[in-house]
Each structure stands twice: as structure tokens, then as C-alpha cells.
């Protein structure tokens, strides 16, 4: 995956919404949606929960989540 996809996967795994991710990365929510769909295909998962599981397994998210 690209560096951007890894970044978005990590943020999705942290429970952030498309709007949250878009605001943090200065991209549109539609672009985030496109990335999320691509990440799902690449990881072979069906939803954001699957992205979160794989992101944790692959080390894209580390430490404890904070509100």
C-alpha cells in the first residue's frame, strides 16, 4: 500500500470518520472514501472494522487509542 493509504488505514483503525480524516489530511471526504474502498480491496476485508483489524496486525496503529 502507498504511504497515504497506510496513513488513512491507521486513522480509520483509530475510529476516525471520513470527515475527521479528511480534515486532518487536508483532502476531501470523497477522496478518503475512495482510499478506504481501495484499502478494503487490497486487504481483502469487507468494512472499516476489517481495516482496523488488519492495520493493527500490520503495525500501522500502535499504542493505546485516546478519545
Instruction: Give the cell for residue 36.
Output: 478506504
pLDDT category at 9 given cuts 50, 70, 90 is very high
Question: Residue 59: what pLDDT?
Answer: 84
For residues 11 and 21, the answer to whether their CB atoms sit within 8 Å is: yes
Neighbours of 36 (CB within 10 A): 20
Task: Give the C-alpha separation, 28 to 60, whole Å.
Answer: 22
Q: What are phi and psi of 16, to 5 degrees?
A: -80, 145
Question: Residue 63: what pLDDT?
Answer: 63
Question: Residue 31: what pLDDT?
Answer: 97
- The model carries a pTM of 0.86
Determine the straight-line distance between the first and last CA of the chain, rounded to whole angstroms: 27
pLDDT by residue (tens digit) across 10-63? Answer: 999 989 999 999 999 999 999 999 999 999 999 999 999 999 999 889 888 776
Amino acid at each position: 500500500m502507498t504511504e497515504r493509504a497506510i496513513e488513512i488505514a491507521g486513522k480509520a483503525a483509530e475510529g476516525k470518520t471520513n470527515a475527521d480524516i479528511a480534515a486532518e489530511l487536508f483532502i476531501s471526504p470523497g477522496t478518503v472514501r475512495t482510499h478506504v474502498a481501495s484499502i478494503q480491496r487490497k486487504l481483502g476485508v469487507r468494512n472499516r472494522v476489517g481495516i482496523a483489524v488488519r492495520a493493527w496486525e500490520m503495525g500501522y496503529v500502535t499504542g493505546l487509542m485516546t478519545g
